[in-house]
Amino acid sequence: MGARHIPCMKYTLYAIDGAYFSCPLGITGSGPYQLCKLNDICSLGGMIDGTHYTQWWRFFSPILIHAGVVHLILNLSTQVQAGFQLEKDMGWWRMAMVYIISGAGGFLYAACMSDVIVPSVGASGSLYGLIACLFLDLFQNWTLIKRPWIELLKMVLNMLLSLAIGLLPGVDNNAHVGGFIYGILAGILFMPKIYYSKWDKRVKYFFTILSVPLLVIITYLLANQFYFSSTTDFCQACNYFNCIPQIMPWCNQKIPNTKLTIYNSYGEQISNMVRQRYFVGYNQTIPVI
């Protein structure tokens, strides 16, 4: 309910009229043999032509939803560490803008990379946006900080460790990467500026103005990819941020081998769609919709 679940956000094979399919965990279907129809999952409005849903707000709502208490505690602890000082420096509304833009942008980026059958929740994209602001804050105050290179090294190592954890099963690093990218641009736009000279002021004005069209262009390209493309293979190398198949045997778990099997009202199988997903230098057949 409210997760970033792509069949609730655009037309997919789930929208075949009269089709039933196996229900996601925790949902009881209204069809025969407890099979699900699309409206058993996407029940919060946004249906188009009585066939499919366009619940665009699912790019935002998953920020507030977590997969359990442990997930919530981990995100809250990171948010307190990264956000406490940032909110003092930026003010609540600037930080809120970065938080929302990074979270939604992370989910949009991940939706362009991920299999449509996999729902996603959590505020990790937003948190990576805050981490991006910490980097910006460090660079802006570089001359005021004692041994800034040491601070930069600490931050880079912490981020690399976090991304390494994101390679494990059940974690979507794509949302982290997308959140960081959006966080950089949103941070440049919304973070308060300190000017050390006229030249410094001009440079920061330039990048502040530049961040607006970059945000618009990136969002347009990703939205176009999400809504009008049927493949998630447009950036093959990007899959390495989520899993490295040559050395990680659990990549099959990160890209679930789950067939979308569609049934008729008698419980008879009527469709089974399979497509190819490619890693650079690595081919794998992934049965998804």
- Catalytic positions are 124, 176
Structure tokens at 286: 């992934």
Dihedral in degrees, nearest 10, Cα atoms 186, 103, 76, 134: -20
Rg (CA), the chain: 21
Structure tokens belonging to residue 43: 């029940």
Contacts (Cβ under 8 Å, ≥6 apart) of 138: 145, 148, 151, 152, 155
185 vs 207: CA distance, rounded Å: 9
- Burial degree of 47 (CB within 10 A; 0-12, 13-18, 19+): middle
DSSP per-residue codes, 151-199: HHHHHHHHHHHHHHHTTSTT--HHHHHHHHHHHHHHHHHHS----SSHH
Report the alpha-carbon angle 77-136-61, nearest 5: 50
